Amino acid sequence: MLALEGIRVLDLSRLAPGPYCSMLLADLGADVLLVEEPVGTGDAPAQVARRLLDRDISERAMVFNALSRNKRSIALNLKNQAARQVFHKLVERADVVLEGFRPGVVKRLGADYDTLSRINPRIIYCSLSGYGQSGPYVGLVGHDINYISIGGALGMIGWPGTPPAIPMNIIADFAGGGLYSAFAILAAVIARERTGRGQYVDMAMTDGVLSLLVLVASQYFGSGIAPRPGQSFLNGGVPFYCVYETRDGQWLSIGCLEPAFWEALCRALGREDFIPYQMNVDKHAEMFDYFRQEFKTRTRDEWFEYLRQFDICVGPVYSLEEVFNDPQVRARDMVVELEHPTVGKVQQVGVGAKLSETPGSVRSLAPRRGQHTEEVLLDLGYSRQRIDDLRAEGAVG
C-alpha cells in the first residue's frame, strides 16, 4: 500500500514548481493525471518556456524527466467546450486540482475554483503562483530569481563587495513553491476528513520563500540587525561556519557551531589556542587566515577523511556529477534506476521521504503527452466513436 493511494489529482500546471508538487504526491501513491494541451495548441510563450526549462520534447529528455514520473497524461484543449465537459467529469471524481497559470487564466478556461467547487464541493484546489491571488504584484510576471529577490533570500547570499550569488532555482520554485504546495494540499486533505468540504489553497512562491526565512526574520525582528552577504553567523561570516579551498582547488564545508565541535576542529588542526575564542570577533581574522592556509595543504577528500573521524561537522562541496556516487546518497536509495523499452537504463533522484509502513516509490517514467487520453475517456464512459469525434474537432489529443 502507498500512503496517498486513492487520492486523485488533476495537474494543470506546466513549469517546474507545480510538476514537482504533484511528483511528490505521485511518489507517495496519488493518482496524478496531467492535463496537457494537445500538440499544436496552447500558449506559444508557455510552450517555449517549458522546452527551455523542463520539458524537452525529445523522447530521451521526457523519459529522464523525473517531474512527470508516476503520472498519467490526458491531452485536453480547454479552450474547446467539449474538452471542458470532459474535464468537468474528471473533477467530479477528483480530490485535488493543481494549477500554476497567471491569475485569471483558469477563469477563462472554465477551470477556476468557483466553477469546480460547484461541481465537486469536496475538491481541494491549489493555485501556485509567484505572488499569489491578491496584492499589488498579483499580475506581475516572474521566475525564481525574482521571487527570492522580493522574498529576501537573494540579498543574503554571496560575499561582501560582490553581486548576490544566484542559486539554482531551488529556493522559490522547488521549496517555497512545489514542496510548500504539497504540504498545503495534504493539510487540506486532512481538514476535509473533518469538515467534509474541500477548500482553496492560494500558494505564492514569495510567501513560501519568506516562510523559509522564519528564523532569520525572527532574529531580525528581535535585534533590528539584518544579515548581510558573507557577514553573518550562518552565511560565511564566521570561521567555524564557512567554506575553504583545498590543495586541489576544491572546497570543503565546515559547520562547527557547537563548542564541542569547534574544540574538536581546533585540536585536529593543531590550534588548541583558538578554542576559548570561538565567539571573539577580534580573533576571527586570525582564524580565517590560518584556516585558509592550512586547508590548502591537503586535498578536499583527504581533509574529509581525516576530519570526519573526530566528530567534526565537515562535508565536501560536491559538483552534481559527484553527488550521485557518494556512498551515503547511494545507501539512502537517492538514486534509482529503471528500464525503458527504447532508451534503456534511466537513472533518477529517489524518493526523499522514507516511510516505514507505506514507502513511496518510482513506479513509472514520464508519459507521452496524451498517452492515457483514450484510457481515461473510456473510464469516464465515452465510446470509441465519441473519442474519435473529439479528436477530430481538436478537443482531445
> Which DSSP string corresponds to 228-285?
-TTTSTTTT-BTTEEEEE-TTS-EEEEE--SHHHHHHHHHHTT-GGGGGGTT-HHHHH
Same domain, 347 and 374: yes
Same domain, 138 and 281: no
Looking at the structure of the chain, the number of domains it has is 2
Contact predicate 208/129, CB 8 Å: no
Mean pLDDT of 227-256: 96
What's the Cα-to-Cα distance from 6 to each of 42, 93, 96, 189, 387, rounded to whole Å? 30, 11, 11, 12, 26
What CATH number is associated with residue 187? 3.40.50.10540
All three cell numbers of 274, joined, read: 583558538
Instruction: Give a yes or no: residue 154 inside a domain.
Output: yes
Same domain, 185 and 49: yes
Task: Answer yes or no: is pLDDT of 262 > 70.
Answer: yes
Average pLDDT, the chain: 94
Q: Domain residues for 177?
A: 8-211+338-392
Contact predicate 67/27, CB 8 Å: no
Q: Is 210 helix (H, G, I), strand (E, B) or coil?
A: helix
How far apart (Å, rounded) are the C-alpha atoms in residues 374 and 74?
8
Mean pLDDT of 326-333: 97
Same domain, 358 and 313: no
Which residue, among 252, 221, 215, has the nearest Cα to 233 in the 3D structure?
Answer: 215
How far apart (Å, rounded) are the C-alpha atoms in residues 358 and 296?
47
Task: Answer yes or no: is pLDDT of 314 > 80.
Answer: yes
Instruction: Give a yes or no: residue 51 inside a domain.
Output: yes
Same domain, 193 and 256: no
What's the Cα-to-Cα distance from 328 to each of 292, 341, 348, 385, rounded to whole Å? 27, 30, 16, 54
Instruction: Give a yes or no: residue 66 inside a domain.
Output: yes
Contact predicate 77/397, CB 8 Å: yes
Q: What per-residue confidence (pLDDT) applies to 199?
A: 98
Same domain, 82 and 171: yes
All three cell numbers of 179, joined, read: 514542496
Task: Answer yes or no: is pLDDT of 141 > 90.
Answer: yes
Mean pLDDT of 47-64: 60
What CATH number is associated with residue 276? 3.30.1540.10
- What's at 65, amino acid-wise? N
Task: Answer yes or no: is pLDDT of 3 > 80.
Answer: yes
Q: What per-residue confidence (pLDDT) applies to 42?
A: 58
- Clarify whether 372 is annotated catalytic: no
- What's the residue count for the chain? 397
Same domain, 106 and 165: yes
Task: Answer yes or no: is pLDDT of 50 > 50.
Answer: no
Mean pLDDT of 245-273: 98
pLDDT > 90 in the chain, percent: 92
Which residue, among 224, 239, 232, 214, has the nearest Cα to 158 in the 3D structure?
Answer: 232
Instruction: Give a yes or no: residue 134 inside a domain.
Output: yes
What band does 59 get if pLDDT is binned at 50, 70 and 90? confident
Mean pLDDT of 75-104: 97
> DSSP class of residue 361?
-
Q: Which value, to the nearest 10 degrees, does the dihedral of the CA atoms of residues 8, 13, 19, 21 take? A: -60
Same domain, 176 and 285: no
Task: Answer yes or no: is pLDDT of 134 > 50.
Answer: yes
Which residue, among 72, 61, 65, has the nearest Cα to 26 in the 3D structure?
Answer: 72
Last residue of a domain, one of 323, 351, 369: 323
pLDDT tens-digit series, residues 145-186: 999 999 999 999 999 999 999 999 999 999 999 999 999 999
Q: What per-residue confidence (pLDDT) applies to 53?
A: 43
Same domain, 141 and 96: yes
Q: What per-residue confidence (pLDDT) applies to 63?
A: 86
Which residue, among 18, 107, 122, 120, has the nearest Cα to 71 in the 3D structure?
Answer: 18
Q: What per-residue confidence (pLDDT) applies to 52?
A: 45
- What's at 234, amino acid-wise? L
What are residue 284's phi and psi, to 5 degrees? -65, -40
How far apart (Å, rounded) are the C-alpha atoms in residues 250 and 236?
17
How far apart (Å, rounded) are the C-alpha atoms in residues 104 and 173?
21
Which residue, among 255, 122, 239, 250, has the nearest Cα to 189 in the 3D structure?
Answer: 122
- Clarify whether 173 is annotated catalytic: yes
**DSSP-assigned beta bridge partners for residue 204:** 129
Q: What per-residue confidence (pLDDT) applies to 84?
A: 98
What band does 54 get if pLDDT is binned at 50, 70 and 90? very low
pLDDT tens-digit series, residues 96-131: 999 999 999 999 999 999 999 999 999 999 999 999
Mean pLDDT of 255-262: 98
Same domain, 94 and 167: yes
Contact predicate 247/299, CB 8 Å: yes
Instruction: Give a yes or no: residue 104 inside a domain.
Output: yes
Residue of higher predicted confidence among 194 and 44: 194
pLDDT tens-digit series, residues 264-310: 999 999 999 999 999 999 999 999 999 999 999 999 999 999 999 99
Residue in 143, 284, 340, 372 annotated catalytic: 143
Burial of 58 (0-12, 13-18, 19+ CB in 10 A): exposed
pLDDT > 70 in the chain, percent: 96
Q: What per-residue confidence (pLDDT) applies to 57?
A: 57
